[in-house]
Structure 1
Amino acid sequence: MNDQPYQVPKAMVVFEEEIKKSIFITYLARTSSVDDAKAFVAEIKAKHSDARHNCWGFVAGRPEDSMKWGFSDDGEPSGTAGKPILAQLSGSGIGEITAVVTRYYGGVRLGTGGLVKAYGGGVQQALKLIETEEKRITDTVILHCDYNLVSLVETLLSQFEGIQVDAQYSDKVVMSVELEKRVIEEFKIAIINKSGAKIEFPSDT
């Protein structure tokens, strides 16, 4: 599994435009799973149940994980809506994102080229409006240490931008910490070296 961080949407954005009397409304939102993506699509479809089409595409995980991609033309000619929407999303480098483009038909046909441009273009414009934040891939590490070494753990935890999740105090301190996956091994080596191997990671034994 890829442990590198990636960008995800901070908040939903909406972009609306009129093309040859048809109204196109593009919604972009963060959806962290395929189920979340489908729920968001259903929400927008319910909101615009009177629209002619609610076409959509999603990237429901890491940007490059095509196993979590999906799209639908929702009644538009095949390949004119869902694929252009997904192409914009997958090319954006943003993960956990769903686009729904609602169309209120205005009576003028756009043709296949016009539809591709309208659906893809709406998502492209909406992507320019979106703010993103970094999603870090983390894991929990459990360590055992003597009381006099707690401050060392806290210092190194701060250096590696980790957080303490839990601590239990008995004859030793049992601490659970959360760190970015890509720095866990480096963190463990630093802890072992600086403590003279007095701090233990029970899951490694």
Structure 2
Amino acid sequence: MDYLTIDKEYSDELSIKNSKFIAFIFHCKNEEEFQNRYKSIKKQYFDATHVIPVYRIIKGENIIKEHFSDDREPAKTAGWPILYILQQKALVQIGVIVVRYFGGIKLGTSGLQKAYSEVVLNSIRNANIIPYIKLKEIKIRLPIDLEYHIHEILRNKFESFNIKIQNISYIEEKNLNYALITLSIDESKIKEFKFLLKEKISDLEIIL
């Protein structure tokens, strides 16, 4: 199955019968990133009546971790309809948080489901939806005097291979200095990437 995601954070607001709903949808790589944003929003909207957290994140070998809470709203009137939208739209690596300020008029079960769904759908319509690309972390070890050469190769392949450099460190072994480059790359491109590097630079080691 081809999954989709979004590139950054988007938000939208909706007012129904004096209740105010504020939705935030954002890209997140893991549960820790989601929890950090959730805590930030909870702190910012400390006086909100409800703060609804939902996420859908791929972990490991295409295992999808899903989570939702209704945060004291009636069961399955808030978090569940939001999660259902994410499932239907095949969205992953995505977090959704909806803040609600109660306006004094009860909306009922169907009214709540409709309100939470509508504010999230509005946010998704405003978002830049992009294909989800599974990235894999690899390390490249090579003599330090060849580091400039590999940066030239990487620079030309950043976009097509979805390369992101995570870290560069330097080590010494047997009086020789090496660069250790940690990067993430489109998993489907690794074989082609290894062939390209070996063709250009023979004296390197790729650690998967």
Q: TM-score, normalised by structure 2?
A: 0.69
Contact 1:15/1:25 (<8 A) preserved: yes
Mapped partners of 2:43, 2:207: distance in 1: 48
Contact 2:3/2:92 (<8 A) preserved: no
Mapped partners of 1:151, 1:109: distance in 2: 64
1:140 paired with 2:138, answer yes
1:27 paired with 2:24, answer yes
Contact 1:5/1:136 (<8 A) preserved: no
1:186 paired with 2:192, answer yes
Contact 2:5/2:91 (<8 A) preserved: yes
Flag the structure with higher strand content: 2
Helix, strand or coil at the partner of 1:106? coil
Q: Cα distance, 1:72 vs. partner? A: 0.7
Q: TM-score, normalised by structure 1?
A: 0.70
Q: Cα distance, 1:159 vs. partner? A: 4.8
Runs of 4+ in 1 over 6 A off after TM superposition: 133-136, 149-152, 167-173
1:80 paired with 2:74, answer no
Gap regions ≥5 residues in structure 2: none
Task: Provide, for residues 74-126 of structure 1, a one-character-per-residue CA deviation record: whole Å limited to 9, x for no partner.
Answer: 11110110111122234444443322212222233222111111111111111
What is the one-letter code of the residue matched to 2:205? F
The equivalent residue for 1:201 is 205
The equivalent residue for 2:49 is 52
Helix, strand or coil at the partner of 1:108? coil
Written as runs of structure 1 = structure 2, the 5 A alignment for 1:70-149 is 70-131=67-128, 137-144=135-142
Structure 1 vs Structure 2 CA RMSD: 3.7
Mapped partners of 1:194, 1:123: distance in 2: 48
Gap regions ≥5 residues in structure 1: none
Helix, strand or coil at the partner of 2:34? helix
What is the one-letter code of the residue matched to 2:138? T
Task: Provide, for residues 112-168 of structure 1, a one-character-per-residue CA deviation record: whole Å limited to 9, x for no partner.
Answer: 111111111111111122346776614333344797x87875665455435694677
Return closer, same or farther for 1:136/1:6 CA change in 2, 3 Å cut-off. Answer: farther
Contact 1:5/1:137 (<8 A) preserved: no
Contact 1:52/1:105 (<8 A) preserved: yes
Task: Provide, for residues 2-56 of structure 1, a one-character-per-residue CA deviation record: whole Å limited to 9, x for no partner.
Answer: xx99644323x32111112221111223433223323322332333333322222
Identity %: 25
Which structure has the larger Rg?
A: 1
Return closer, same or farther for 1:106/1:167 CA change in 2, 3 Å cut-off. Answer: closer
Mapped partners of 1:86, 1:151: distance in 2: 46
Return closer, same or farther for 1:174/1:136 CA change in 2, 3 Å cut-off. Answer: farther
